[in-house]
């Protein structure tokens, strides 16, 4: 590694990388408002700078969460890997990084702390106009004051979203409150006129985080996630999705006004988008829009998640779902340039091989005394979750000793291609890969069917199938491991046919299919039996309690962010208590299910169009 401090643009060789260490922010006392604001401002400015300078090639890498970031840095610097031999300069701090890349950013965008939505307006402008966002704070110890003294810009290079006393520029925009006027201004000046990228949308918490920064760890402010979306010139929003409620961050707003703005935003993007809309982020349920203490809604966080996904799906959007707990991700704008392979074949798939509990059969079969169990190993529909958890799971000593069906959504290679490449090149024969939530992205498939809720939006199935097919082909996927229907209807006959075209080897729905079956396309399907959590012993109890003696003894259970060692202990506990349970890899499982339902001929039978069952109320 080459170190050159201070680094200047003239000393930076072509192809060199600047590394900025912000890991000291992990030790900030978030209960101290001054420290929390300085951390927020630093991450916001650094992530925006990163998005701007990494747009065309990888140039700026941030070290923020050592356990995660160091793992990937070391992995990518090894002999034969992507960053082997690349010249690296360590930056002394944010000011120096801003100086090094001064020719790449056009100035700053100053935003007011209130309304809270101003921070997301600033992130949008940062991407569209290559500006560094700074919260306007004239206090002596603020980042704005410190950087202003450095004379990094002149007055002509400042885009002011507020005047010298913090009054915002959008006061003349249409809307009943400052939050709604801010978003209306954003719609009129950047979204409807095509200045933002219509193929992508960022949905991350705004500066309302500053009201209670200590509710969760600093990475869950998700400012480090902004870099990728700024590099892609995305719009940033944070809006409530329930018609009957007023959002907690804007209590004077009429109920449902946030939702109307969200729909207007999605429609404006859909009318310009070239394909499906990639929506990064997740409802910030710990701070807003849920029934968590102080979050201002009567709805559970899962219900708000489902409502958000339903709204996004209605306009051909899908989630890259950076949910709280593992929400933070650093360096996606850098990693987007990782060289993907054209194909990642599963050479061991589509033949029975990986089982635990009994000897593997010579072909998929369904012995009457055997209970076939498949563990769906999720949830990996978020690039942030994948990037954070794989360093733990791929170094777990139990990985490779048991069949695990890793449900990694293939579209995550837009922000985490390095992770999907790593897991494939370091997979064992017991690492089986299927798609996770709903395919190449998390949406409600039933919302794609014509007639749509908005009559101006045409049927979305062709677009969705084409989108999934390209990702499934690259990663050699033929099983869709989980369809979350949420607040939408289940798959009907058309929906099953559409999925049969991309996942012919199997599909699992959450709950709204009528039971195990084989579609006329030849695709076997069934509902998820239950979620498993707690200790391995508690999960074993729940699994065994869920074996209800069906005539078709096939059960798929879902686990969420559990380690290989946890799964191994679960399987051991179950096998000791129930000798006829066979834990199968997904391909063996569905092959045996299909044989059981169709008999030896393995010829599909025509199934009628399925009437979509209704449920009285959703449950997570």
DSSP for 123-150, please give it.
HHHHHHHTEEEEE---STTSHHHHHHHT
CA 391 to each of CA 302, 387, 419, 577: distance values in angstroms, whole numbers, following the listed order: 27, 8, 9, 32
CA 138 to each of CA 147, 148, 153, 579: distance values in angstroms, whole numbers, following the listed order: 11, 10, 16, 70
Pairwise CA distance, residues 180 & 260, whole Å: 10
Pairwise CA distance, residues 130 & 53, whole Å: 9
The contacts of residue 449 (CB under 8 Å, 6+ apart) are 459, 460, 461, 492, 494, 495
> What pLDDT shows up at residue 13?
65
Q: What count of Cα atoms within 13 Å lies in the side-chain half-sphere of residue 64?
A: 27
> Residues 499, 318, 485, 432: is their CA dihedral positive or negative?
positive
Pairwise CA distance, residues 331 & 223, whole Å: 11
Contact 394, 422 (CB under 8 A): yes
Number of helical H runs and strand E runs in the chain: 17, 21
Q: Which two tokens stand for residue 421?
A: 């490449």
Pairwise CA distance, residues 298 & 557, whole Å: 29
CA 599 to each of CA 524, 594, 604: distance values in angstroms, whole numbers, following the listed order: 13, 8, 10
Tokens 């989980």 map to which residue? 482
Residue-by-residue DSSP string for 236-293 = EE-----TT---TT-TTSPTTHHHHHHHHHHHHHHTT-SS-EEEEE---TTTSSSSST
> What pLDDT shows up at residue 547?
93
Pairwise CA distance, residues 39 & 47, whole Å: 12
Q: Which residues of the chain carry a pLDDT beneath 50?
A: 1-5, 10, 351-364, 601-620
pTM above 0.75, yes or no: yes
Strands 158-160, 107-111: parallel, antiparallel or unpaired by DSSP?
Answer: parallel
């Amino acid at each position: 590694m080459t170190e050159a401090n201070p680094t200047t643009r003239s000393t930076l060789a072509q192809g060199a990388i600047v590394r900025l260490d912000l890991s000291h922010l992990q030790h900030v006392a978030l209960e101290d408002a001054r420290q929390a604001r300085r951390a927020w401002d630093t991450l916001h400015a650094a992530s925006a700078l990163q998005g701007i300078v990494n747009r065309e090639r990888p140039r700026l890498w941030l070290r923020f969460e050592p356990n995660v970031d160091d793992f990937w840095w070391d992995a990518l610097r090894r002999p034969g890997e992507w960053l082997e031999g690349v010249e690296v300069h360590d930056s002394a701090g944010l000011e120096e990084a801003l100086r090094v890349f001064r020719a790449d950013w056009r100035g700053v965008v100053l935003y007011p702390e209130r309304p809270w939505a101003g921070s997301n307006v600033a992130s949008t402008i940062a991407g569209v106009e290559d500006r560094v966002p700074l919260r306007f704070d004239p206090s002596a110890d603020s980042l704005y004051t410190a950087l202003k003294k450095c004379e990094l810009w002149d007055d002509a290079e400042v885009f002011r979203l507020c005047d010298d006393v913090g009054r915002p520029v959008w006061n003349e925009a249409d809307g009943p409150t400052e939050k709604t006027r801010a978003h209306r201004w954003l719609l009129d000046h950047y979204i409807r006129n095509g200045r933002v990228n219509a193929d992508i949308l960022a949905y991350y918490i705004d500066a309302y985080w500053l009201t209670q920064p200590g509710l969760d760890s600093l990475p869950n402010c998700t400012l480090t996630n902004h870099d990728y979306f700024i590099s892609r010139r995305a719009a940033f929003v944070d809006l409530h999705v329930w018609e009957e409620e007023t959002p907690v961050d804007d209590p004077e707003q009429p109920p449902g006004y946030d939702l109307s703005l969200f729909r207007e935003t999605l429609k404006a993007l859909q009318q310009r988008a070239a394909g499906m809309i990639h929506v990064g982020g997740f409802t910030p349920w710990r701070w807003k829009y849920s029934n968590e203490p102080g979050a201002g809604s009567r709805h559970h966080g899962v219900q708000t998640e489902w409502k958000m996904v339903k709204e996004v799906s209605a306009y051909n959007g899908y989630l890259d779902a950076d949910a709280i707990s593992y929400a933070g991700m650093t360096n996606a704008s850098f990693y987007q340039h990782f060289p993907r392979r054209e194909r990642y074949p599963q050479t061991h798939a589509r033949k029975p091989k990986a089982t635990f509990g009994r000897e593997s059969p010579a072909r998929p079969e369904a012995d009457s005394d055997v209970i076939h169990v498949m563990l769906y190993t999720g949830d990996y529909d978020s690039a942030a979750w994948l990037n954070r958890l794989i360093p733990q799971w791929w170094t777990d000593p139990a990985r490779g000793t048991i069949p695990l069906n890793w449900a990694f959504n293939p579209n995550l290679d837009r922000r985490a291609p390095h992770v999907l490449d790593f897991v494939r090149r370091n997979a064992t024969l017991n690492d089986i890969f299927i798609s996770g939530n709903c395919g190449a992205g998390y949406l409600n498939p039933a919302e794609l069917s014509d007639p749509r809720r908005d009559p101006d939006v045409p049927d979305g199935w062709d677009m969705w199938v084409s989108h999934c097919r390209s990702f499934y082909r690259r990663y050699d996927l033929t099983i869709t491991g989980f369809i979350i229907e949420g607040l939408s209807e289940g798959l009907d006959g058309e929906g099953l046919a559409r999925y049969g075209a991309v996942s012919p080897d199997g599909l699992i729905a959450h709950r709204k299919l009528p039971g195990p079956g084989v579609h006329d396309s030849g695709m076997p399907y069934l509902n998820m039996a239950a979620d498993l959590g707690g200790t391995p012993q508690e999960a074993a109890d729940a699994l065994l309690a869920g074996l209800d003696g069906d005539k078709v003894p096939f059960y798929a259970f879902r686990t969420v962010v559990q380690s290989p060692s946890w799964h191994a202990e679960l399987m051991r506990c179950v096998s000791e208590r129930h000798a006829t349970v066979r834990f199968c890899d997904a391909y063996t499982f569905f092959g045996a299910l299909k044989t059981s339902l169709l008999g030896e001929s393995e010829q599909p039978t025509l199934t009628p169009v399925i009437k979509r069952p209704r449920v009285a109320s959703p449950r997570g």
